[in-house]
Chains A and B, each alone.
Chain A
Amino acid sequence: GQSLEQPSEVTAVEGAIVQINCTYQTSGFYGLSWYQQHDGGAPTFLSYNGLDGLEETGRFSSFLSRSDSYGYLLLQELQMKDSASYFCAVRRHSGGYQKVTFGIGTKLQVIP
């Protein structure tokens, strides 16, 4: 089977740094993506890791360790607008294409 685990809720202070972890178990693993979703909004793509290591995009960075089946999303210089749900999602080979499976999401609350 397959599973994705991430914390259900995280609270952090404006201006601080927060790390959201994701562990996964799946066959045919190809890579790990992160999506952001504000309440009532559509999920939007943040980052993708196909190889081990760190990917940086502005205030957001994402890390992958394939040997540990582990990744994380790092948000720096937190802003109030970063309050949202963050989903890790695995890409895996399935039936000749890369299927995306989402975790349950981590609800991040940024407080003043």
Chain B
Amino acid sequence: GAGVSQTPSNKVTEKGKYVELRCDPISGHTALYWYRQSLGQGPEFLIYFQGTGAADDSGLPNDRFFAVRPEGSVSTLKIQRTERGDSAVYLCASSPGAAGTDTQYFGPGTRLTVL
């Protein structure tokens, strides 16, 4: 279909709450990536899925962060016990092939604000 979509576009939450961020990749793309981008910085890698499995989760900052992609399409990034330092834009990207060899197509991001 169209490009990568992410919902919600904005999320404001209170410290300590749980949030879920959703990513719908381009149809047929097998690779999916989550990044976090703080103001004035480049996208920071969080996790990479190839199909349903997390091929590389080395970028997740701690065990409060978790992501799933149960059917190999939509992915959800879950953050428990949110902290103010989690405030950032969370970007999702997808690519058609395996092993990260292809161009990544980014969604518009979810701006998370933790008060």
Contacts and interface: CB of A to CB of B under 8 A. Distances in A.
Interface of A: 33, 41-45, 48, 87, 89, 91, 94-105
Contacts of B106: 42-44
B109 A98 contact: no
Contacts of A102: 35, 42-44
Interface of B: 4, 33, 35, 40-45, 48, 50, 55-56, 58, 91, 93, 98-101, 103-109
B100 A91 contact: yes
B56 A101 contact: no
Nearest to B58: A95
A43 B91 contact: yes
Contact of B42 (A42, A44, A96, A103): A103
A97 B42 contact: no
Contacts of A96: 55, 99
Q: Helix, strand, loop or mixed for chain A's interface?
A: strand
B101 A98 contact: yes
A104 B100 contact: no
Contacts of B104: 45, 100
7 contacts: A42-B107, A44-B106, A91-B100, A97-B50, A99-B45, A100-B100, A105-B40
A97 B99 contact: yes
A94 B108 CA distance: 26
B91 A42 contact: yes
A104 B55 contact: no
B100 A99 contact: yes
Between A42, A89, A103, the greatest number of chain B beta carbons within 10 A of the residue's beta carbon is seen for A42
A36 B114 CA distance: 27
Contacts of A41: 108
Contact of B109 (A42, A45, A94): A42
A105 to B, nearest CB: 5
